[in-house]
Amino acid sequence: MKPGHLAGEDLTVVSAFEAVGQYSAGRIDDVRLLAVERHACPGAGSCGGMYTANTMSSAFEAMGMSLIYSSTMAAEDAEKADSTEQSALALVSAIRKQILPRQILTRQAFENAIAVIMAVGGSTNAVLHLLAIADAAGVPLALDDFETIRARVPVLCDLKPSGRYVATDLHQAGGIPQVMKMLLVHGCLHGEALTITGQTIAEVLANIPDTPRPDQDVIRPWNHPLYPQGHLAILRGNLATEGAVAKITGVKKPQITGPARVFESEESCLEAILAGKIQAGDVIVIRYEGPKGGPGMREMLAPTSAIIGAGLGDAVGLITDGRFSGGTYGMVVGHVAPEAAVGGTIALIHEGDSITIDAPARLLQLNISDAELEQRRSVWQPPAPQYTRGVLAKYARLVSSSSIGAVTDHD
């Protein structure tokens, strides 16, 4: 989606969510709120920043499953129609040549996708989705692989939600192929990986410049990245023995220790934020929103955007066993596993408990003794399931931990 414009500012759908928080905190009036709402989404297409849809389309371009440049084209531009025609021709050719998805979706392809997602500052949801896709494709992939690749790939693109630019700006600056070529040149991409056209990644990128154009600053030069390492970190500790996912770039204070403010649902948390009941230094806990507890692992865009809108983005932490929108940023940690619904430590937090989020140390910790934790665990009882029959009840019974992709056909 092309960005909306208001008073010289680029808007996306997240702008509308944040405006609700700004309005509730008295930072804008109803005239401004209505104006943002009316201008945020000017036409067709997926959310305008490097949010989940654009992150995943970029990932598939990186994996060779779609044609180059296709993931950052504006939905309403003529080149999208041309790309659609070219995509159909490529698909027919792949069928004739019997180039099959599992030949493209190799371990190398997934590593390429992760590298590109780190470089563009993509969504936390990419972790969940790529784990699930790899599982379906029979490719071994684990949470720690994201941490390994994060350590060697810088953030090269200054994109929303925490940056300045939108996806169409990235397209004009050279798109995903420019980012991929830089990664390839610097040894962070597997050039021999196959693509849907039958060419290798290196062959597809042969005519792309090694360096970004100097007349733009959406894509940074390799020696002047936005951040020296990737932005999606895997946190562990007694609150996430199976792991949790955090965006650690774009936050002024990557560590926080504060009192827990515990909520059993997204709605109850949002109500408290909009009522001004959250204070600087708090660590918000939203639980029973995981794969089984949701069921379905909802994204917490409304409360996280309200926090940003209220001016608390750098002053509070938030952890959840649910997901985040790709538009979320701030000191937030999601995909906490084991989730509350199966008795994970997040279910045992009491209001006011001390919690530490330490992004540089990759730590997510409930600061109570092991003895106290075990005592709480011994008396914990799972809540009654929200659904006892039908599709959602079946899903809740079958779904696995988010740490392995929340898949429903695992042994």
Taking Cα atoms as reference points, which of 348, 351, 355, 354 lies closest to residue 332? 355
- Number of other CB atoms surrounding residue 206 within 10 Å: 11
Q: What is d(CA 321, CA 241) in angstroms, rounded to the nearest whole number?
A: 12
Which residues fall within 8 angstroms of residue 224, CB to CB, at 6 or more apart? none
- Amino acid identity for residue 380 in this structure: W
What is the spatial distance between Cα 286 and Cα 146, in angstroms, rounded to a whole number?
24
Per-residue buried b or exposed e for 345-376, using 16+ beta carbons within 10 Å of the residue's own CB: bbbbbeeebebbbebeebbbbbebeeeeeeeb
If we measure between CA atoms, which residue out of 9, 359, 400, 355 comes closest to residue 166? 9
In DSSP terms, 338 is beta-bridged to none
Question: For residue 165, what are its two tokens?
Answer: 């630019």
Could you give the 3-state DSSP secondary structure of residue 218? coil
User: By the 8 A CB rule, do 111 and 145 touch?
Assistant: yes
* Nearest-angstrom CA–CA distance, 96 and 214: 42
φ and ψ of 372, to 5 deg: -65, -40
Q: For residue 200, list its beta bridge partners.
A: 194
DSSP class of residue 384 equals P
Is-catalytic flag, 70?
no
DSSP letter string, 266-329: HHHHHHHHHTT---TT-EEEE-S-STTTTTS--B-HHHHHHHHHTT-TTT-EEEESSB--TT--
Whether cis (ω within 30° of 0) applies to the bond prior to 228 is no
**Set 325, 400, 401, 402: catalytic member:** 325
Question: Which residues are catalytic, by number?
Answer: 325
